[in-house]
Chains A and B, each alone.
Chain A
Amino acid sequence: LPLRFDWRDKHVVTQVRSQQMCGGCWAFSVVGAVESAHAIQGEPLEVLSVQQVLDCSYKDDGCGGGSPLNALRWLNKTQVKLVEDSEYPFKAQNGLCRYFSSSQSGVSVKDYTSHDFSEQEDEMARALLTFGPLVVVVDAVSWQDYLGGIIQHHCSSGEANHAVLVTGFDKTGRIPYWIVRNSWGRSWGVDGYAHVKMGSNICGIADSVSAVSV
């Protein structure tokens, strides 16, 4: 493993977005992973529609909450093409699912994997290198007040409540950490990102990990 790796350096991660007053973190994380997987394939980096996932992933509850796993199952099962955000923009509220013709351009999910990587965070780092940014679900209660630095305490595993996207890791310093893209805007944390200590399953970051291929 390299000492430091961040998919942002490869220009395959879209800008941090804000979910506003919508509980749609699960959709933001999944769409972020699809955007990156698409760009890693050599395609242009496109901002895809979170609203489409919020409205159409029928086992979830849109801005009322959901599960990345349900969204991935839905994307994989239906082979729905995620359209560009400009085509189906974010409204921060639930809406009726819009359908597009098969000729509409978009990105569909070919496959996904979901695993528990607790006590195997080096394997998780390998998965990050192999597949691209990873969707994870963490305990983010104390993230309400986070300003920066490496999160090591004040959260637990087994209490997951917030979906985010791991884009990289950094082991060059005294405390190795995951680089985590959040969906609370760029003014939160470190330009919209959090740094979470690697190796101790902090905040349950390795408990529910999903990777996407497109």
Chain B
Amino acid sequence: TWSRSRGRDAAAFRESLRRHRFLNSSPWENTTAFYGVNQFSYLFPEEFKAIYLRSKPAMFPRQPTEMYKPIPNVP
């Protein structure tokens, strides 16, 4: 539980706007995603992480690559 206040919300929102500017002005040519105000804009990133990003990763085996063998010449 995070203690919320109008001041804190406003600060988180200002930080979000700064972040959106950064995310939308990326140096890559092929940028197609766009970022802006949504329901999470009143959360600081650490609050957002603490609430919503709660999945633990696991190490999985690599998917085995199929071995392709050349088909021999047949009549």
Residue positions of A touching B, CB distance < 8 A: 19, 21, 23-26, 29, 63-69, 114-118, 120, 123-124, 127, 137, 140-142, 144-154, 160-163, 175, 184-185, 187-188, 195, 204, 207-210
Count residues on chain B whose CB falls below 8 Å from chain A CBs: 35
A contact residues around B48 at 8 Å (CB): 141, 144
Residues A141 and B49 in contact in the complex (CB < 8 Å), given A26-B54, A64-B54, A114-B58:
yes
Q: Which of B1-37 contact A (CB under 8 A)?
A: 16, 19-20, 23, 26, 28, 30-36
Residue positions of B touching A, CB distance < 8 A: 16, 19-20, 23, 26, 28, 30-36, 38-41, 43, 45, 48-49, 51-63, 65
Contact across chains for A120 and B63 when beta carbons are under 8 A apart: yes
A contact residues around B57 at 8 Å (CB): 67, 137, 160-161, 204, 207-208
Residue of A115, A144, A148, A160 touching B34 (CB-CB under 8 A): A148
Residue of A142, A145, A150, A162 touching B55 (CB-CB under 8 A): A162
